[in-house]
Amino acid sequence: MSKIVITGGAGFIGSHIAEEAAKENEVVIIDNLDDYYSPDLKQQNLEILLANPNVCFIEGDINDLDLVRRVINDTVDYVFHEAAQAGVRISVEDPFKPNNVNVLGTLNVLKASLDAGVERVINASSSSVYGKVQYLPFDEAHPTMPVSPYGVSKLAAEHYCRVFYEVYGLPTVSLRYFTVYGPRMRPDLAISIFTRKLLANEPITVFGDGEQTRDFTYIDDIVRVNLRLLETDAADGYAMNVGGGHRITVNDLIAHLRKITGSTSEVVYSGRQKGDAEHTLADVGRAKELAGCRPEVSIEEGLAKFVKWART
């Protein structure tokens, strides 16, 4: 049984990784229960996780280096670094917080992990590092030109991970997530907002004309790649896309959800938001080659699962 630390483990993605990892490992969650969205939702996630005796929770902030050092000590084998200040749009309003959390916080996690001699740090990155589209699908060689402070902060964190591997010898992998969705997802994300509105037959607001496209990735596919990295070191030093490998327009997304929910909600179009990417699509070849993982959940299947969960 390995000992795993998961930063941000009370959040959407971190809690799913923790739930699966704790079936065969000791899991320590560190999370500051930030109020970017309701801490009550994170407490609900923790109630699920702490029902497993293999899980323990420490409330704390990754910007507290002394605390991070106490949590990531020489008894720890692996670190999943999921803690972050998320939100493209909020980063445009306040670029300092994502820098403090996503860059300086990551540096603390890496330094503590290096000093503790952990076997690998798996860092949660984002498709936001690509930004301006030069071609699709995005492969990992695509130029990185973020269009938001959030994207810049995640790219900086990736470079720190790479440098800690190349210079200090700390095994690291950065996973570039593409628009993750599923049960327990953040309430501020599009699929979550649209589903709530559709189930209530309330109007939906779409920023732009709805023809922007996204590669949506179901949470189970994200968890699968993360846990695979406990078994292979082939990906050390790399950044890898983790996406669904397909894209649909926002308008088509709403059409899928409308069909599943039977809703009569009207769609209202508004102005585009600063920092939003126009299109995303993942080339998942590297994840298949190095981690032996490919996306398994289609958008239709994933949306049906999410709506079923949302109804409860």
Active site residues: 150
d(CA 125, CA 81): 9
Calpha distance 184→15 (Å, rounded): 9
Instruction: Indicate the residue type of 14.
Output: G
Hey, how many other C-beta atoms are within 10 angstroms of the C-beta on 43?
A: 11
CA distances from 248 to 40, 153, 162 (A): 32, 27, 32
**What are the residues whose beta carbons fall under 8 Å from the beta carbon of 260, sequence distance 6 or more?**
303, 304, 307
Q: Are 27 and 54 in contact (CB under 8 A)?
A: yes
190 within 8 A of 255, measured Cβ to Cβ: no
Pairing of strands 78-81, 180-181: unpaired
- The helix-helix angle for 299-311 and 250-261 (nearest 10°) equals 50
- Tokens (6 digits) for 129: 């590092």
| Upper half-sphere CA count for residue 31 (Cβ side, 13 Å) | 27
Where are the strands (E) in the chain, listed by range? 3-7, 26-31, 55-59, 78-81, 120-126, 172-177, 180-181, 204-207, 213-214, 217-218, 239-242, 248-249, 267-270
**Local structure of 88: helix, strand or coil:** helix
